[in-house]
Amino acid sequence: MKRSPLRLLGRPVAAAVAAAALLGLLTAIPAPEQLPSATPVAATENSATVFYWTKTKNWSAYKLHWAPDGGSWTTVPGTAMTAACTDWVKLTVPLGSAGGLAATFNNGSGVWDNNSGNNYALGTGDITVKDGVVAHSDPCADSGTTPSPSPTGTNSAEVYYSTATVGWTTTNLHYQPVGGAWTTVPGAGMEAACTGWVRRTVDLGTATGLNATFNNGNGVWDNNNGADYALKTGRTTVQDHKVTANAADPCAAAVPDTTAPTAPAKAAAAADGVSVVLTWEPSTDETKVIKYQVTRTGGTKGTLVADTGSTVFSDTGLEERTAYSYTVRAVDAAGNVSTASAPATATTGDRPPAAASGQPLGTDPRKDPIYFVLTARFNDGDSTNDRGGSQDVKSGNAANNDPMFRGDFKGLVQKLDYIKGLGFSAVWITPVVLNRSDYDYHGYHGYDFYKVDPRLESAGASYQDLINAAHAKGMKIYQDVVYNHSSRWGAKGLFTPTVYGVRDSQWSWYYDEKNDGFEYDGLTVETKSGKSYYNGDLWSTAEPAGNTCLNWGKPTGSTSAEGYKVYNCQWPNATSGMFPTVYYHNCWIGNWEGEDSRSCWLHEDLADFNTESAPVQNYLIGAYDKYIDMGVDGFRIDTAVHIPRTTWNRRFLPAIQERVTSRFGAEAAKNFFVFGEVGAFVNDKWNRGSVNHSAQFYTWKERKDYSADDAAASLEMYTYEEQLGTGQQPVSDNAFLKGNAYHTPDHSQFSGMNVIDMRMHMNFGDANNAYGNGKDSDDSYNDATYNVVYVDSHDYGPNKSSERYAGGTDAWAENMALMWTFRGIPTLYYGSEVEFQAGKKIDCGPTCPLATTGRAYFGDRVAGAVTASDFSKVSSASGTVADTLAQPLVKHVQRLNQIRRAVPALQTGQYSTEGISGSMAYKRRYTDAASGVDSFALVTVTGGASYTGIPNGTYKDAVTGDVRTVSDGTLTVAAPGKGNLRVYVLDLGGRNAAPGQVGTAGPYLK
């Protein structure tokens, strides 16, 4: 997962610009004039009545364990809380002179809610704690089940507030009748009115209006950007900063929708062989466009009418050299159909020959150790596609003659023999789709998901050429993919908003001039200015039709660091109203282990897809079908934890399986390797106790049925699984031997997604620690033998270090010895075979040169010629690459790959530590009756070990060739030493004969 610094439309933006533009609807505190003067309270009169929400806990008892500010804690488990009203318990706490209390809650039997280890900081008065959200109200006095009291004065105001954008679960109205005093902070609780709306009727007496602000009772405010809301008597609605006086009741029955959507605009068709890709701009509608109807005419097959939820339609299997015409109509939720778009035409070409290697290799992914490269930083095969971007000088890259986009597919093809010579048979590459950010070389800022980034391709070295070249060498390509977000700001073919911009005397340098004849592709220079790779297609001075961004183009009152005037809608954000909810989520993450981490933006420049929406699902499924069709062997899924498991299990994972099966067959689909990044940067088996945010959770199918609506289903699943807790999650013995016997694993509840072993990764500061933590979690994965295991990556080193691993060569050798013989798939980040950039900061964005980071260019280390005759075997090498191949860790990893490839138990076997003494010592076995394979191995890493209860027979060490005969079920092995290893394989004769010594002794394996 990559994050770039704040930037806008191809240019850096000062922090002040971002801060001002992100002010939006919410502020952390009310404006000073809203705060009432404090009235002294006698020291002995302070108290708090604490209400606690029980519905998601369902405990049999509730205890409040608390301490007054500056005082002592109660005795564990605390004081029993009593029933208050439906789904609430309460306890009144005397505080004396204290102004608040620290609090935790528990069930009296060891299960706690301590606010993720932070405790709850509560004040005085009535306080509610609901699913981690603290608010000030009495939920039993005004819960929404009874109407607000009728006003007793002459005038009243009925205030409705929309919560759809802010997403608050509790809303308070803090107000001041004109000429009167402000209510006490946080104000009066508002009651639920209907979906997305709360209400409160206010008695104004003789006042003719009121000043108002709104808050969630937990310090987050909407105070109209500090100006407060001026409301009148009667019914008023406040929605996304817009005040409507004398408003219609927003909760009244809706008027039937009889208005059709607008006709789809800018329909365009492009032919590729005998396929046509049709695109168009989204239609607008007063309610919601739910699908599009595509009509095709031409050829001899007659008229085709097809529905799609996306604004991209792929039409395949057409006739050669034939003209086709397409029109598109939009359909809204009420069934109204728009007029047809203008026709779009395309003429097909010749049917391309089928590429024999353009299909996945389809073998068990556990047999293939993985080499991970940032393609743009690995090796430069074609300097004509190098691009530095607008940050080239600022970052210091220009001074190093090191453009961010430097490596490419051609360079990777040229060095496949280097990777094969190391012994790797799978290459994980960073995302290939077209990006559109200032510092997007890493590929995680996708803009056009249907187009390969031209900065990676060359004549004769397309993405397809890379896949075919790898397959020809028996090597797999795993493509990094992003389903969670897009960048710059939308996704081409789905939705891209227009931002406010003006080429005045201050901002002319900032906004690229429009050129209607130029389309951004990241590579081509815009011809009008002759210096930019962008185009002024994302901004407008005039407010565009259908704009939903609040206060379009109005000055915010702030200035940039340069002193330039800053405007609303100049910088898109999650709560500006600029992103339709059908395509994007409209909130910011507040809790990284909370539900909102799956449904909100995680960074300023990463627009969070509404992955529970059918149009988005169709767009992404269609995009990634393209790469499946090209024959990639698997997907590494970025930010997998930020999408609900229900969405993965219902939509994306089945779509992958269906596409691979339809194109390449069931066996290829079974072995199409999907592994997700579920970031958990703690040493817990379960990520801070949250099952929904733990890697192993994503390897399982759902255990019950949820609502048909994907958004509702995700919430239901989250609540259900969190309530069950970690102790009620499924367990598996798929990774474990039964005694000395292998057993057929049960994958019937497998979701289709494997995962990166984040827990081992976080603990690889010490190999033995990583081993112990890995074993501790293995019963909670569906099958831990498929876990992807690495020490460091393009994001982090062990223990969430921001530097590349620098534990020393001996420690690296020990880590590798463990990874290559323990369960899971060993994975190495490019350059670690020579401790490349050890101790260097992995990523600092454009604030420092890439050459000084863990993402430095590696091509200089592999310059020259290299030819691999087989995996781990180099037949010839010259130039610098020959020196690289002579390094001690290179020799180590080459031999580890040889040994692992020679012993099936090390690739696909289950493991056990039963009857074994010694740290990092285990036995592994793989048995397959169909093929006749039976492989049994005893492994010790670093220390000595004793194995008891093992099968009698002859054992041969794959490292030294030592031969032992076991007649009493016991084998004892002396400590090989750090970075060394012993692998005693049972000789079963025939095809299962022990290989004896594999390879030759080196600097570590000896």
> By the 8 A CB rule, do 434 and 446 touch?
yes
Q: Which helix (H) or strand (E) holds 347?
A: strand 344-347
C-alpha neighbours within 13 Å on the C-beta side of residue 910: 24
The DSSP element (H or E) to which 720 belongs, if any, is helix 710-724
Identify which of 467, 462, 466 has the alpha carbon closest to the alpha carbon of residue 452.
Answer: 462
Cα–Cα distance between 966 and 613 in angstroms, integer?
62
* CB neighbour class for 708 (10 Å; exposed up to 12, middle 13-18, buried from 19): exposed
**Confidence bin at 145 (pLDDT 50/70/90):** very low
Q: Which residue has the tokens 């010594």?
A: 997
User: In the predicted model, is pLDDT for residue 20 greater than 60?
Assistant: no
CB 758 within 8 A of CB 798: no
Mean pLDDT of all residues in 183-187? 87
d(CA 35, CA 223): 12
Residue 892 has pLDDT above 90, yes or no: yes
The rounded distance, in Å, linking the Cα atoms of 735 and 729 is: 17
Alpha-carbon torsion, ordered 638, 3, 446, 659, to 10 deg: 0
**Are 191 and 198 in contact, with CB atoms under 8 Å apart?**
yes
Contact 304, 314 (CB under 8 A): no
- Other Cβ atoms less than 10 A from the Cβ of 970: the count is 13
| Residue 182 in this model has a pLDDT that exceeds 70 | yes
Asked whether 584 and 602 are in contact (CB, 8 A), the reply is no
With 50 as the cut, is the pLDDT of residue 14 above it?
no
User: Could you tell me the pLDDT band of residue 153, with boundaries at 50, 70 and 90?
Assistant: low
The predicted-structure confidence for 426-472, as pLDDT tens digits, reads as follows 999 999 999 999 899 999 999 999 999 999 999 889 999 999 999 99
Tokens read off for 415: 């060095």
- Of residues 689 and 147, the one with the higher pLDDT is 689
CA atoms within 13 A on the CB side of 728: 8
Q: What is the pLDDT of residue 528?
A: 82
Structure token pair of residue 833: 């075979």
Backbone angles phi, psi at 902, to 5 degrees: -90, -15
- Alpha helix (H) residue ranges in 267-389: 375-378
Residue 35, pLDDT above cutoff 70: no
What pLDDT score does 621 carry? 92
Token pair for 707: 């609502």
- Six-digit token string for 932: 């006749």
Instruction: Count how many residues are written for the chain.
Output: 1006
Alpha-carbon distances, residue 783 vs 42, 535, 699 (angstroms): 62, 48, 8
Q: What is the pLDDT of residue 3?
A: 42
* CA 725 and chain centroid, separation: 23
Cα 475 from Cα 472, distance rounded (Å)? 7
Q: For residues 213, 217, 222 and 228, what is the CA-based torsion angle, rounded to 10 degrees? A: 20
> Which residues, at least 6 apart from 955, have a Cβ–Cβ distance to it below 8 Å?
938, 963, 964, 965, 966, 971, 984, 985, 986, 987, 994
Average pLDDT over residues 892-905: 98
Tell me whether residue 514 is exposed, middle or buried, using C-beta atoms within 10 angstroms of its C-beta: 0 to 12, 13 to 18, 19 or more.
middle
Given a cut of 60, whether residue 5 has pLDDT beyond it is no
**Range 163-186 burial, b when 16+ CB lie within 10 A, else e:** bebbbbebbbbbbbbeeeebbebb
Q: In terms of pLDDT, which residue wins out, 460 or 928?
A: 928
CB 361 within 8 A of CB 816: no
Candidates 923, 825, 741; CA nearest to 364 is 825
Exposure string of 862-892, with b = 16+ CB inside 10 Å and e = fewer, is: bbeebebeebbebeebeeebbebbebbbbbb
Q: Which two tokens stand for residue 917?
A: 């003494």
- Torsion angles phi and psi, residue 104, rounded to 5: -135, 165
How far apart (Å, rounded) are the C-alpha atoms in residues 142 and 752?
46
As a whole number of angstroms, the longest Cα–Cα distance in the chain is 101
356 or 467: whose pLDDT is higher?
467
Q: What share of the chain is helix, strand, coil (3-state, %, to 5)?
A: 20, 30, 50
